Chain A
C-alpha cells in the first residue's frame, strides 16, 4: 500500500521524465514573421476561430468529473463502504455545475 505522497512523487517523476524528453526535441529557429504561415497545414487564409460556446468545454469537464463521482457512488453502495465521502463529492460537483455556467 502506498501513501498519497508516494503517488504524488511517482507522478512528479513521470512529469519530469516527459518534460526532459520534450525539451530534448530540437527546437529549430522559427521562420521570419512574414514567412510564417498561419497554419501548419500551409493554408494562407487568416487564422479564425469558429464561434463556440465556452459552456460546452465546461460541460465536457464537468461531465467527466460527474461520471467519476457516479461510479464512486455505485461502488461505495455495492461494496458497503461509508457513503459520506461520495455524498460530499457529489454535493461539491453539483455546486460546481450550478456555479460554472453563471461564471
Chain B
C-alpha cells in the first residue's frame, strides 16, 4: 500500500480503538482487550481488503468474515460502522436492551455480520462451510475468520482445521490473535498449546507469522494467502492484548472488563494523542 493509504488506515485504526472504548464504557461491560489487540487486523480487512457493499450487506458475491472469537464484537462493530454498514453513533448502544448491537455478533440483527458467533470454536467451522460453498459454486469470494489464541483450546478448532486442509480451501484465510492471554491468565499457564505455528503446519495449513499491529505486514500476508493454491492460510498475528491503551496493554484483567470514567478518559486522551501524531505525519 502507498504511504497515503497506510496513514489513512492508521487513523482509522485509532478511530476503531476509540469506538471500542466508547462501546465498552457505555455498556459498562464487554471485551476491550482482544478487540484492541485485533484492531489492525479488523482495520486492514474491513477498510482496505474485503469486497463488501454496505448498501447490500447480503450481496452473494461479497467476501465473508466470521469473528470466531465473537466476544471481540466491539472491534467488529466499530469496523462495520466505519465502513458504513450503520451509523457510528449507534455504537454506544452496544449491549443495551434497545440496541441491535448484541453482546456477541448476531447475523440476524447487525448489518454486515456474516455469522452469529460467541461460543468459541464454532466460527471457524462456519467459515469452512462458507469456503466450501464458494468452491462448490466456483465463486471467487474469499472467506476470512479471526480466532483467539485461547480459543484454540477448543477441540472443534482442530476439527475445522483438518476439514479445511482436506478440502484444500485456499479461499479461506484465518487469523489467530496471538496475544498470549486469556481470562484466567497467561495461555501458557492455563492450557499451553505449545508451538502453534508448528501445529498449524502439521495440520497442512500455509502458515505466516507476522507482527499483528503492522498494517503492511498484514497486507503482505493476506496477499500471500491469495497466491497460495490448494491450502488454507493461517496468519499467526503476534499482538499485544489491550494495544493502544497503556494501562490495558498485556494485562489479562482487561479481557472482559469496562473502564470507569477516569480510566475511560485516560484511554481516550491517549488515543487522541496518537491521532494528533498521525495528523502531523
Does A pair with B?
Answer: no
